[in-house]
């Protein structure tokens, strides 16, 4: 099973990494989306702080706990090197020294999404109206 997962992981990585450093504009879009996406999520949380305090604290606490407790706890026991530092054929757009698994960005966004899940569907419109 471990070999199958490694094979699958390498296949998906090859597909995604095949687009890296081919088109500069696409590289810049992904780099900026990665960097500014966190600020957009934080901005949404600030709006929620002003308008929906209970939902804000739910999203904030789940994001902080998942990112800094769960992710770092897993990284403490399971150290997986980033593909760019292990495989020469990988074209990394940015150099990062933190372990690859689990993804801190994914944990953060998933935790915020889970916090919003039980909320009524009217919430996005109510944020815009005030």
For 28-75, what is each residue's pLDDT tens digit? 777 777 777 778 877 877 777 777 777 777 777 877 777 777 777 777
Question: Model pTM greater than 0.85?
Answer: no
* Number of Cβ atoms within 10 Å of the Cβ of 115: 21
Which residue is associated with the tokens 């569907």?
Answer: 121
**Percentage of residues in the chain having pLDDT higher than 90:** 0
Average pLDDT of the residues of the chain: 68
- How many structural domains are present in the chain? 1
CA 13 to chain centre: 16
Q: What are phi and psi of 103, to 5 degrees?
A: -75, 125
Q: Which domain covers residue 21, as residue numbers?
A: 2-129
* Number of Cβ atoms within 10 Å of the Cβ of 43: 11
Radius of gyration in angstroms for the set of CA atoms belonging to the chain, rounded to a whole number:
18
The pair of three-digit structure tokens given for residue 41, joined into one six-digit string: 């999520």
The pair of three-digit structure tokens given for residue 88, joined into one six-digit string: 């020469």
pLDDT tens for residues 73-91? 777 777 766 655 555 655 5
pLDDT reported for residue 38: 75
Identify the burial level of 48 via C-beta atoms within 10 angstroms of its C-beta, where 0-12 means exposed, 13-18 middle and 19 or more buried. Answer: buried
């Amino acid at each position: 099973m471990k070999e199958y997962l490694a094979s699958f992981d390498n296949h998906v990585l090859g597909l995604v990494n095949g687009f890296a450093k081919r088109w500069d504009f696409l590289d810049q879009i992904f780099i900026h989306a990665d960097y500014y996406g966190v600020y957009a999520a934080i901005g949404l949380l600030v709006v929620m702080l002003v308008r929906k305090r209970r939902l804000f604290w739910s999203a904030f606490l789940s994001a902080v706990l998942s990112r800094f407790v769960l992710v770092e706890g897993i990284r403490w026991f399971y150290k997986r090197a980033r593909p760019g530092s292990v495989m020469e054929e990988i074209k990394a757009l940015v150099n990062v020294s933190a372990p690859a698994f689990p993804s801190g960005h994914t944990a953060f966004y998933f935790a915020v999404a889970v916090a919003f899940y039980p909320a009524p569907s009217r919430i996005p419109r109510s944020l815009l109206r005030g």
